[in-house]
Amino acid sequence: MDAGDVAVAPDSEDSTADTTQPPTDLGDVSQDTTADATDATDATDATDATTDAGPPTMTPEEFARARELYFNRCAGCHGTLRAGATGPNLLPARTLTVGTSRLRTIISIGTAGGMPGWVRTGLMTMEEADLLARFIQLPPPSPPPRPLEDIRASWRLRTPVADRPTAPRTTRAWENFFGVILRDAGRVAIVDGDRHDLVGLIETGFAVHILRSSTTGRYFYAVGRDGRVTLIDLWTDPPSIAATVQGCFDARSVEASRFPGYEDRLLIEGCYWPPQYVVYDGLTLEPRAVRPVLSPAFSGEPLDEVRVASIIASRQAPQWVLALKESGYVALVDYRAEGFPVVARIGAERFLHDGGWDHTGRYFLVAANARNRVAVIDTLEQRLVTSIATGLGPHPGRGVNWLDPTYGWVNATAHMGQGRFSVYGADPVGSPANAWRVVRTVDLPAGGSLFVKSHPSSPWVWIDAPVSSSPTAARRICVYAKATGMIHRCWSASERGQVVHFEYNRAGTEVWVSVWDRVGELIVYNDRTLEEVTRIRGDWLVTPTGKFNVWNTSHDVY
Q: Does 508 share its domain with 488?
A: no
Query: Tell me: the pLDDT tens digits for 291-334?
Result: 999 999 999 999 999 999 999 999 999 999 999 999 999 999 99
Q: Does 522 share its domain with 479?
A: no
Lowest mean pLDDT across 207-211, 423-427, 546-550: 207-211
Q: Does 17 share its domain with 70?
A: yes
For residues 474 and 492, the answer to whether their CB atoms sit within 8 Å is: no
Q: Does 486 share its domain with 405?
A: yes
Is 478 noted as a catalytic residue in this protein? no
The residue segments making up the domain with residue 74 are: 3-135
Is residue 164 situated within a structural domain? Answer: no
Catalytically annotated residue among 74, 124, 248, 478: 74
The sheet carrying 219-224 orders its strands as 156-157, 240-246, 228-233, 219-224, 208-213
Catalytically annotated residue among 209, 395, 455, 501: 395
| CATH number of the domain bearing residue 407 | 2.40.10.480
pLDDT of residue 10: 31
Q: Does 521 share its domain with 466?
A: no
Task: Quote the pTM value.
Answer: 0.85
Is 353 noted as a catalytic residue in this protein? yes
Confidence of residue 53 (pLDDT cuts 50, 70, 90): low
Confidence of residue 76 (pLDDT cuts 50, 70, 90): confident
Strand-pair category, 198-203 with 420-425: unpaired
Catalytically annotated residue among 78, 415, 455, 501: 78
Maximum mean pLDDT: which of 135-144, 465-474, 522-531: 522-531
Catalytically annotated residue among 1, 58, 115, 416: 115
pLDDT of residue 26: 42
Is residue 289 situated within a structural domain? Answer: no
45, pLDDT greater than 80 = no
Is 74 noted as a catalytic residue in this protein? yes
Catalytically annotated residue among 58, 77, 416, 478: 77
Query: Tell me: the pLDDT tens digits for 455-511?
Result: 999 999 999 999 998 999 999 999 999 999 999 999 999 999 999 999 999 999 999
What is the H or E stretch that residue 332 is in?
strand 329-334
Residues contacting 360, CB < 8 A, separation 6+? none
Q: Does 524 share its domain with 429?
A: no
Is residue 38 situated within a structural domain? Answer: yes
Is residue 36 situated within a structural domain? Answer: yes
60, pLDDT greater than 60 = yes
Is residue 240 situated within a structural domain? Answer: no
Is 271 noted as a catalytic residue in this protein? no
| CATH number of the domain bearing residue 31 | 1.10.760.10
pLDDT of residue 375: 98
Domain boundary among the residues 108, 135, 162 is at 135
Q: Does 115 share its domain with 90?
A: yes
Count up the domains in the chain and report the number: 3
Is 115 noted as a catalytic residue in this protein? yes
Domain boundary among the residues 460, 492, 524 is at 492
Catalytically annotated residue among 58, 209, 248, 353: 353
Is 78 noted as a catalytic residue in this protein? yes
18, pLDDT greater than 60 = no
Domain boundary among the residues 439, 461, 492 is at 492
Is residue 353 situated within a structural domain? Answer: no
Q: Does 7 share its domain with 127?
A: yes
Q: Does 403 share its domain with 513?
A: no
Is residue 45 situated within a structural domain? Answer: yes
393, pLDDT greater than 90 = yes
Enumerate long-range contacts of 116-125, CB under 8 Å, 24 or more apart: 116/3, 116/6, 116/467, 117/30, 117/36, 117/37, 117/40, 117/469, 118/73, 119/40, 119/43, 119/44, 120/36, 120/37, 120/39, 120/40, 120/471, 121/471, 121/498, 122/518, 123/3, 123/73, 124/69, 124/73
